[in-house]
Every structure is written in C-alpha cells, then in structure tokens.
Amino acid sequence: MKKAIITGISGQDGYFLSKLLHSKGYEIHGVIRRNSSMSVGNLSLLPEEVRSRIVIHYGDLTDANFFAKLLAEERPDELYHLAAQSFVGYSFQNPSSTYDVNISGTLNVANAVKDYSPDTKMYFAATSEMFGQPDIVPQNEETPFKPRSPYAISKLAGFWTTKTYREAYGLFMANGICFNHESEVRGPEFVTRKISLAVADIARGSNKPLELGNLGARKDWGYAEDYVEGMRMMLNSKEPDDFVFGTGEVHTVREFTDEAFHVAGIPIRWEGEGIQERGVMGNGKVIVRVKRELYRPLESDNFLADYSKAEMKLGWKPKTKFKELVKLMVENDLNRRD
C-alpha cells in the first residue's frame, strides 16, 4: 500500500486529493494546523469512510522541526505539498506572512524530504499567477514568469526551490503549474464561490447585491477534481518534471456571473461601464455592483493554459467544461442547508 502525506489537506484540493488517493488504496496522512475551534475545514465534508482512514498530524508549515520529525518517522512514498496562504488579495495586505508560509514553509518541507526521506516524491503546488500579465498567449512550461503579487512571488520561490532541489540533489520533486480550479468546496472569498454563494442567496430572496471587482478579468477556470488527478499522475510518472494544468478556455468574471444567474433561472442584463457597471434583474433590481476596493492593486489576467505537455506525457486532460463547472457550483449552493 502506498503512503502519502498531504499538506493543506483541509483546503479545496486536499478534499479532492484525499478522495482520489482513498479510491486508489493509499494510506493517507494529512497535515492540519491547530485552531481554537479545532475545525478541520473541508475534511469534515469528506465521506466518513474516507475521513476515518486519514491519519491527522497537527503542525504548521513554518515549523521546520515538525516537518523534519514527520518525514523521518513516516517516510511516505509521496508528499503533496498543497498548504499555502493561497489568496492573492490577502497577499497584498499581508505580504510578510504570505512569504513566511509560502517561501519558508516550502523550504521546510523540501529540506525535510532532502534530509530525512530522500526517496519521497514531492509535488509542489505552483500557479499560473507566476505568469503575471503574460503577453504570450497561451502559456506553457516555457513561458517566462513575471509575477505581479506577493502571492505569485512566493510561489515562484517555491517553484525554483523545488526545481533546484530536484537538479542539485537528484530528488523526485515536481511542480504543477495549475491554472485556476474551482469547485463546490472552494473557499468563500474566491471570486467563483463568492458568485455562486451570492447567486444562491439572491435566488432565495436576499436583497444584498453581489459585489465584484474587475468584471473583465479573464481566467482559465477548471474543476479541482480534474487537477488532483494530474498531481498524482506527475508523481507516478518515470521522471520528475514540471507541468501546466488548465482548460485551454478563457472566460471573464462577467461571463461566470452571467452563467451563474442563468443556472439559478435569474436573467441578468448589464448597464453602465467600468466602476459604474451593474447587473440588473428584469424588474430593475440591482443584483451586481462593481467596487473599486475589490480591484487588485495590480491586475494579472490574460490567462490561457496550453496543457499539451501534460496531455502528451501524462495522458492528462480536463474533463469538466466551463458551463458544467458553474452549474455544479451554483446548484450545490442552491441546495445548501445552513
């Protein structure tokens, strides 16, 4: 039986990866940081048969000793390093803690593998945000990185740590350069989930309009379940390498919003421009407003994935299309009981 450790198991990707590895018969260990309410995030949403088999280790990314001891004791076959301060907006407000967690934290994980469990294969969760505002479209593994946020800078440091350790020490360490991937368990502050939650509330009669930033931001959005398959494929291929995962389709925030209201049976029309733009229902009620504060200090968009290397070398392809993704997220929130 293969043994895997997942950092960030309580996050979105941890949820889907736990399900996938369970279905493949892995022994799963997950790292969770303690909080005062002892909540375990998306782990609590996992089916009981999966959750009850996960061995939890309480620890923080910034604690090098914790990871050294964990790797020395468990010596897993695979380590999926997903834990991070993952929200771009927050990284502008709190760059220091973003760097501590994402840069020092990744170094702690990589050093623990190098020093205490060098046969462990490690996946690092890199990101399309590292491309910044790319003028080359679509982006692949050869596209230059031009990060435009503290989050993207921190992930680029993790990317280079992973690549450098692979080359310097002959370790199996690999970077997944994932484009945005969403789901019904996406954190509520991320724009797609913010939209699906607000649309469901408005469908239930809420008068609170959905507040958004740049409606024209263009993203390559896929379904998280597809991306965790790519992560496992990477660690089960012969050579460690870096791969882009995305859909090869681009949509704006406005299109996502349109489609989400469509799924809820609420036709929406757009009026005005820029910061004055708003989404209006048939009866004239304003249901979407643009807020300047929700724009990023530096926008990064124009994202479009060229995942041909993953397709050719791993046999990976996204299965879920844009409309299906929006539908499953909105329907999940419409059916939510809380």
Judged by the rule CB under 6 A, the positions of this chain that interact with ligand NAP are 8, 10-14, 33, 41, 60-62, 82-86, 101, 105, 125, 127, 178, 180-181, 187
Would you say 213 and 291 are in contact if contact means Cβ atoms under 8 Å apart?
yes
Contact call for residues 147 and 132 (beta carbons, < 8 A): yes
Q: How far apart are CA 64 and CA 85, in angstroms?
A: 17
Candidate list 15, 151, 223, 307, residue with the active-site label = 151
Query: Least distance to ligand NAP from the beta carbon of 233, Å?
Result: 16
Least distance in Å: CB of 40 to ligand NAP?
A: 8
Which residue in this structure is represented by tokens 């979105």? 12
The DSSP result for 277-294, as a single string, is -EEEETTS-EEEEE-GGG
15 is catalytic: no
Q: Partners of 104 in the beta sheet? A: none
Closest-by-Cβ residue to ligand NAP is 11
Q: Which of 74, 78, 129, 259 is catalytic?
A: 129
| Comparison of 279 and 318: residue with beta carbon closer to ligand NAP | 318
Taking every pair of C-alpha atoms in the chain, what is the biggest distance, in angstroms? 65
Q: Could you give the 3-state DSSP secondary structure of residue 177? A: strand
Q: How far is the CB of 14 from ligand NAP (least distance, A)?
A: 6
Contact 67, 108 (CB under 8 A): yes
3-class SS of residue 156? helix
Amino acid letter for position 53: R
Query: Measured from the CB of residue 61, what is the shortest distance to ligand NAP in angstroms?
Result: 4
- Cα 235 from chain centre: 18
C-beta closer to ligand NAP: residue 277 or 299? 299
**CB closer to ligand NAP out of 212 and 287:** 212
Q: How far apart are CA 205 and CA 248, in angstroms?
A: 36
Nearer to ligand NAP, 95 or 187 (CB): 187
Instruction: Supply the minimum distance, in Å, between the C-beta of residue 311 and ligand NAP.
Output: 18
- Nearer of residues 86 and 214 to ligand NAP, judged by Cβ: 86
Q: Give yes or no: 169 in active site.
A: no
Question: Cβ closer to ligand NAP: 61 or 253?
Answer: 61
CA atoms of 146 and 130, how far apart (whole Å) = 6
Nearer to ligand NAP, 202 or 228 (CB): 228
Beta carbon of residue 216, minimum distance to ligand NAP (angstroms, whole number): 19
Least Å from the CB of residue 8 to ligand NAP: 3
Q: If residue 23 lies in a helix (H) or strand (E), which one and from where to where?
A: helix 12-23
* Alpha helix stretches (DSSP H) within 205-321: 224-235, 253-263, 308-314
Active site residue 161: no
Distance, CA of 171 to CA of 242 (rounded, Å): 13
Which H helix or E strand runs over 78? strand 78-81
State how far the Cα of 101 lies from the Cα of 87, in Å rounded to an integer: 12
Q: Which residues are tagged catalytic?
A: 127, 129, 151
